[in-house]
A and B are shown apart, each in its own frame.
Chain A
Amino acid sequence: QTVVTQEPSLTVSPGGTVTLTCTSSTGAVTSGYYPNWFQQKPGQAPRALIYSTSNKHSWTPARFSGSLLGGKAALTLSGVQPEDEAEYYCLLYYGGAQSWVFGGGTKLTVL
C-alpha cells in the first residue's frame, strides 16, 4: 500500500516563509509523479494551487511556489498572509498502477 506523507501541522508567522513537503513511501518523488497541491478551508471544496510540480493556475497567488526538494515535492509560501491558514494536500501520480494518492494533509496555522 503506497503512502504519501505530509507534515501533520506547521505554524508560521505572518510575513514569514514556510515549506510544506510531500514524501512517497516508494522512494524519491520526481517530476514523473506530477505533484499537485491543493488548499482547503473549512466547509469549502479544495482549491487547486499547483500542478505538475511547479505550474501555477491563473488564480494562484505569486507567493505560492512548487518544487522538488531533496527527493520530496515541496510547496513554499513566501510572505505568508493570514488568509493562508488552511489545510494543504499534495497529490501524486503512480504511473505503474495508474493511480493517484493524496497525502494526509498539512494544517497550516498563521500565528
Chain B
Amino acid sequence: QVHLVQSGAEVKKPGASVKVSCKASGYTFTGYYIHWVRQAPGQGLEWMGRINPNSGGTQYAQKFQGRVTMTSDTSVSTAYMELSRLRSDDTAVYYCATPNEGSWGQGTLVTVSS
C-alpha cells in the first residue's frame, strides 16, 4: 500500500526558504498525484497544491502562486515542496498526501522565527 515518509522538522528565519521531502513506497511512484497540505497551529487543513510525478505537471493554490515550487524525482520516488520568502504565519505542519489512495505522510513541522 502507499506509504509516505517526510523529512524532519525545520526552523527557518523570515525571508528564507524551506524544502520538505516526501519519499513514497509501496506503489508505482508515477501512478498517483502527490498533494501538499499544511496546518497552522490550532487551525484547519489548507490545500497548497499537487504534482503529477509522471509528467511533473503542477497545480498550485492561488494563495501560494509565486512562492511555492513542487517537484519530484522519479529515480528516488520522492516529491519535494519548496516554500520561499517565509513569514511567521507560514509556521505550520506540512503534509504530503495521496488523498484518493488515503495515504498521508507523518507531517513536517516548519517553524519560522527570527
Do chains A and B interact in one complex? Answer: yes
Q: Which residues of A contact B (CB under 8 A)?
A: 34, 36, 38, 40, 45-48, 51-52, 57, 59, 87, 89, 91, 97-105
Chain B residues, CB < 8 A from A89: 44-45
CB distance from B42 to the nearest CB of A (A): 10
Number of A-B contacts (CB under 8 A): 54
CB distance from B6 to the nearest CB of A (A): 10
Interface SS of chain B: strand
Q: In the complex, what distance in Å separates the CA atom of A91 from the CA atom of B45?
A: 9
Q: In the complex, how many residues of chain B place their beta carbon closer than 8 angstroms to a beta carbon of chain A?
A: 21
Chain B residues, CB < 8 A from A48: 99, 102-104
Chain B residues, CB < 8 A from A45: 95, 104-107
Q: A45-B106, A100-B35 are in contact. Are A51 and B99 (CB under 8 A)?
A: yes
Chain A residues, CB < 8 A from B103: 48
Q: In the complex, what distance in Å separates the CA atom of A102 from the CA atom of B97?
A: 14
